[in-house]
């Protein structure tokens, strides 16, 4: 059990990420490739990724370089998921390069002691070796993560909107109480299912909450408690995403004044009942419209208890831009899916 202790000052410094953190997503995606656990939720991504990597130099580099230092195990180095990654892949990779050599050596030693590190791992303390390692990270991201960026953004944006509504409705208690079935809020302590018994005292530093597309089941935190506190937690999934439909068939279903009005009304997110009131239709009719919009890839829907919140995907937002002509034609350690183990 991980117990995160809040002070009154921490409540004012809670942040919920509204976009994917590229290096956390990269790390968690590597863990998805190392296990069949939860594969049903990533079946399409898993098939295309394995097929795309098979027999390539990148596949060999992933096996030889990335998996050994980012294993799905009780520990992997904190410096490979830096705070700067919140501002994008370039900033995150630059932070890895700028990591002090002594910190890299220390964390590689911990990896070797707790999990086992490859013989070349100590050389990551050298700038030149880290530069080559970062090139592999970028190549993996471009090949495996970037093609799914819009879907990741859509689901994380929906989670962000849902957390915002919970906070407006019930304050901090509403935010922290509804994060995940693996977390329970007993003020002033957030109890998180974890691989070890551990206390994290925020001490006024606040907490950055990062919903993650590729994190599965159990939240993840940093080992080094001196670093800015962060908690990576999984999006809640009840079933795999529906298979993609032919674009022409889906978009043809969007024709009509009512459905266009529904799409516009979801620019700031809305629940099914709110949408029904706005359109002047029954909840069942509103549900039909959101189903068509969702199947066309224009919105995403997230259920929380008895409420379903609908938000635009990047494609849906593009459809509403005045200059848009529509889509163009053309294509864990932190722990084994749980958390981090403190050395």
> pLDDT tens digit string along 91-120?
999 999 999 999 999 999 999 999 999 999
In a domain, 337, yes or no: no
Mean pLDDT of 121-144: 96
Among residues 79, 11, 78, 69, which one has the least CA distance to residue 220? 78
* 33 shares its domain with 142: yes
Neighbour order of strands in the sheet with 230-234 = 14-16, 207-212, 230-234, 220-221
- Among 40-44, 127-131, 237-241, top mean pLDDT goes to 127-131
Q: Which two tokens stand for residue 46?
A: 């898993």
* 130 shares its domain with 165: no
Domain boundary among the residues 234, 261, 281 is at: 234
Q: Which of 8-22, 163-177, 229-243, 317-331 has the lowest mean pLDDT?
A: 317-331
In a domain, 83, yes or no: yes
In a domain, 334, yes or no: no
* 50 shares its domain with 141: yes
Q: Please give the Cα distance from 238 to 103 (Å, whole number).
A: 40
pLDDT(322) > 60: no
Q: Which two tokens stand for residue 235?
A: 């999006």
Between residues 288 and 252, the one the model is more confident about: 288
* 75 shares its domain with 144: yes
* 40 shares its domain with 119: yes
* 164 shares its domain with 128: no
Number of domains in the chain: 3
* 129 shares its domain with 210: no
The mean pLDDT of the chain is 85
Instruction: Return the C-alpha torsion angle 159, 161, 162, 164, nearest 10.
Output: 120
Domain residues for the domain of 55 are 22-150
Domain boundary among the residues 127, 150, 173 is at: 150
Q: Enter the pTM of the model.
A: 0.76
* 93 shares its domain with 44: yes
């Amino acid at each position: 059990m991980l117990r995160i202790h809040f002070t009154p000052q921490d409540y004012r410094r809670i942040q919920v990420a509204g976009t994917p953190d590229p290096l956390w997503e990269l790390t968690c995606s590597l863990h998805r490739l190392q296990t069949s656990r939860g594969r049903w939720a990533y079946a399409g991504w898993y098939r295309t990724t394995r097929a795309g990597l098979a027999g390539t130099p990148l596949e060999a580099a992933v096996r030889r370089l990335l998996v050994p230092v980012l294993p799905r195990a009780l520990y992997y180095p904190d410096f490979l998921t830096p705070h700067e990654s919140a501002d994008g892949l370039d900033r995150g990779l630059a932070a890895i390069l700028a990591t002090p050599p002594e910190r890299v050596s220390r964390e590689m030693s911990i990896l070797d002691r707790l999990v086992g590190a490859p013989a070349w791992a100590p050389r990551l303390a050298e700038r030149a070796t880290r530069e080559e390692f970062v090139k592999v990270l970028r190549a993996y991201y471009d090949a495996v993560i970037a093609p799914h960026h819009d879907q990741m953004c859509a689901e994380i944006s929906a989670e962000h909107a849902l957390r915002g509504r919970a906070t407006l409705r019930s304050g901090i208690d509403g935010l922290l109480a509804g994060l995940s079935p693996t977390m329970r809020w007993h003020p002033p302590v957030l109890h998180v299912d974890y691989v070890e018994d551990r206390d994290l005292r925020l001490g006024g530093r606040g907490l950055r909450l990062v919903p993650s597309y590729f994190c599965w089941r159990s939240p993840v935190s940093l080992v080094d408690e001196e670093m800015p506190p962060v908690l990576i937690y999984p999006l809640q999934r009840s079933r795999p995403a529906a298979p993609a439909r032919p674009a022409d068939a889906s978009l043809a279903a969007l024709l009509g004044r009512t459905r266009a009005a529904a799409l516009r009304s979801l620019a700031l997110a809305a629940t099914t009942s709110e949408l029904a009131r706005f359109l002047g239709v029954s909840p069942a009719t509103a549900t039909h419209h959101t189903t068509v919009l969702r199947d066309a890839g224009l919105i995403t829907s997230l259920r929380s208890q008895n409420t379903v919140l609908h938000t635009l995907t990047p494609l849906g937002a593009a459809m509403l831009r005045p200059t848009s002509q529509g889509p163009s034609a053309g294509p864990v350690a932190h722990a084994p899916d749980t958390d981090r183990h403190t050395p």
